[in-house]
Amino acid sequence: MGDRPVRVVAAACDGACSGNPGPGGWGALLRFEDGSRRELGGAAPATTNNRMELTGALAVLEALRDLPRHPDLVLLTDSRYLIDGLDKWMAGWKRKGWRTASGGAVLNRDLWELLDAARLPGLALRHVRGHSGDPDNDRCDAIAVAYSRGQAPALAVESQPAVTPEVGAKALVEEVAGADAGDRAPRSLQTLLSRLELADRLAAGGYSLRAMELARLLEVPTATLEGKGDPWPWRDWIVRPLGNGCWRLERGAGGLARPQ
């Protein structure tokens, strides 16, 4: 891509709460056109699911403010509350002094005002049904749930580059292996390269993977794989269902178009 800034091509957010109200968490991610991604997340000790949904969206908008964006970028969310609030209800709330149609005070006004101020021209919200197999929504949900349970999930960072396993990954792994300890790549990068090299070996060997094994390789919840009956692309590979709860990785030349 030369010197052209790497644009954000996908964005998603989600929220979770245990008890509603109760301990909560939010998760978000940005995908870049070079294949790298940035994941965000956080927790609140006493909150609601709606507040976590709004907090995740706010984090995405604030992160996008200073980043180049693809013109077709949309923010993916499974929250109708978030979408309707921004697209349908916001104007009326402000006209009525932050009162609802029934005259009551608008809940979560503090977050709605921050979201209104953080809006980005041309960035639309798109609804996706939760737990429907969308990988970005499922990943955000996994991050949010982990934080709501007091866990600290490992989050991907933008500095992890997308490289082809045949050339880039192998070369970088060899470079890391031969470097002095003080010059080694970050652990997160080493982990990514190991996953890509493993994926390539699995594809070359024609090995089948069980749901738990595939989910760990792809870093997605196992539930994401349930009900997937058709092949789908992942990085430079095609994930092909074999039946009986097993899958196989094939090199991307298998004929499926990669998402733009």
Catalytic residue flag (residue 131): yes
Q: Which one of 14, 39, 136, 200 is the catalytic residue?
A: 14
Question: Does residue 53 have an active-site annotation?
Answer: yes
Catalytic entry in 39, 78, 138, 236: 78
Annotated catalytic residue, options 39, 138, 141, 200: 141
CA pair distance 58, 160, nearest whole angstrom: 24
| Domain ranges across the chain | 8-148, 165-254
The residue count for the chain: 260
**Taking 60 as the threshold, does the pLDDT of residue 130 lie above it?**
yes
* CA atoms of 221 and 119, how far apart (whole Å): 30
Question: What whole-number distance in Å separates Cα of residue 26 and Cα of residue 145?
Answer: 7
**pTM of the entire predicted model:** 0.62
Residue 75 has pLDDT above 60, yes or no: yes
Average pLDDT rounded to a whole number, residues 22-33: 95
Q: What is the pLDDT of residues 132-162, one digit of tens each?
A: 889 999 999 999 999 999 998 889 886 444 3
pLDDT greater at residue 107 or residue 160: 107
CATH superfamily membership of 8-148 = Ribonuclease H-like superfamily/Ribonuclease H (3.30.420.10)
Q: How far is CA 61 from CA 15, 147, 242, in A?
A: 15, 20, 40
Whether 15 is catalytic: yes
Give the pLDDT score at 3. 52
Q: What is the pLDDT of residues 201-259, one digit of tens each?
A: 888 878 888 877 887 788 776 666 766 788 888 888 888 888 777 888 898 744 343 33
Mean pLDDT, the chain, rounded, equals 82
Q: Which of 53, 136, 200, 236 is catalytic?
A: 53
